[in-house]
Structure 1
């Protein structure tokens, strides 16, 4: 079974390589606009499914192919905190996260010609109280760009996080235990877990 990752995320590639998987990367060009009234959990589920199906359709994927897609968002009080549009937007997001607990949701979606399998994982993340200087320091590093909620826990952003409850790899963008389950359901041979 050939595995296709429908994502250009270097973090997802790194996580999949860390569990010994070989795969091709075919990024999905999906419209990720949030729908009116859509919950963060419904949002990530819809986007992950859309990405996998778009790539499968583009490749006219045969039976020997499995397409894996994922989408992650930060949820503050039921509101999607997507990737910041600029530094001012990132500063606003980090102020909103400061000293609070929020949720990180990742939907993992596997497509094969024989069926679709999905799971959504939620992790609670509690931020330390951030000063304006601390936020400025983090923004100066540039790590906030292209990350939901304007932070990355796998790098310097870990200094912003006081506690997590749930999957650490989920916060990075791919909950590995659950991803292994989705891949096995799709017929992909995965060691471990």
Structure 2
């Protein structure tokens, strides 16, 4: 059974390879505008499902994995920084505070879609202006939800994490494996569940 990753994220691909899955990569191109009155949890779940279902149309018989990650503070989604000013505004909110990383994983076989949202609590140490400036200049924050990558230099700011580390990176691996098994695919055997 073929597995397809509906994402161009190198981090998600690396996480799947970590458990022995080398999927074909076919990024989904969908509208990611939040709906009015949509909760952050519903938003990431909808996007993950839409990505998986959009790509599944091109791969009959394959299992397509879609995922979406949002950094949320005070029930507000912090997207990818659009500029250095936007980044500094976001990071001032994250500094010394706790936030949630919500990551949804959805798997579709073209007939049905199963999904789960994993919420991880992340606390930051206080971050001073110089640290923020150095981090921005590193280039790491530019394409990251919330403006940081926990698997890179962003780890320097993380005081505590409660929940799934891999979900903060971009794909909750344990939950992904469990959903794949519901479709009859085992990461252990790289094929049908025995």
Alignment TM class, shorter chain as reference:
over 0.9
Q: TM-score, normalised by structure 2?
A: 0.94
Match of 2:120?
Answer: 123
Match of 1:15?
Answer: 15
CA distance in 1, matches of 2:183, 2:74: 34
Structure 2's unaligned 5+ residue stretches are 190-194
Q: Deviations over 1:85-126 (max 9, x none)?
A: 122111111111010000000000000144221111000000
Q: How does 1:116-155 map to 2 (within 5 A)?
A: 116-155=113-152
Q: How does 1:30-69 map to 2 (within 5 A)?
A: 30-57=30-57, 59=58, 61-63=59-61, 65-69=62-66
Structure 1's unaligned 5+ residue stretches are none
CA distance in 2, matches of 1:99, 1:80: 18
How many residues matched?
189
CA distance in 2, matches of 1:118, 1:54: 15
Q: TM-score, normalised by structure 1?
A: 0.95
| Partners of 2:96 and 2:124 within 8 A in 1 | yes
TM-aligned CA deviation for residue 137 of structure 1:
1.2
Match of 1:107?
Answer: 104
- Aligned-residue Cα RMSD (Å) equals 1.2
TM-aligned CA deviation for residue 44 of structure 1:
0.1
Q: Deviations over 1:114-155 (max 9, x none)?
A: 422111100000001011111111111110011100000000
Q: Secondary structure at the match of 1:145?
A: helix
| Partners of 1:117 and 1:186 within 8 A in 2 | no
After TM superposition, the runs of 4+ consecutive aligned structure 1 residues lying more than 6 A away are none
Q: Secondary structure at the match of 1:34?
A: coil
Residue 97 in structure 1 maps to residue 80 in structure 2: no
Q: Secondary structure at the match of 1:130?
A: coil
| Partners of 2:90 and 2:146 within 8 A in 1 | yes
Match of 2:82?
Answer: 85
Q: Secondary structure at the match of 2:37?
A: coil
TM-aligned CA deviation for residue 187 of structure 1:
2.3
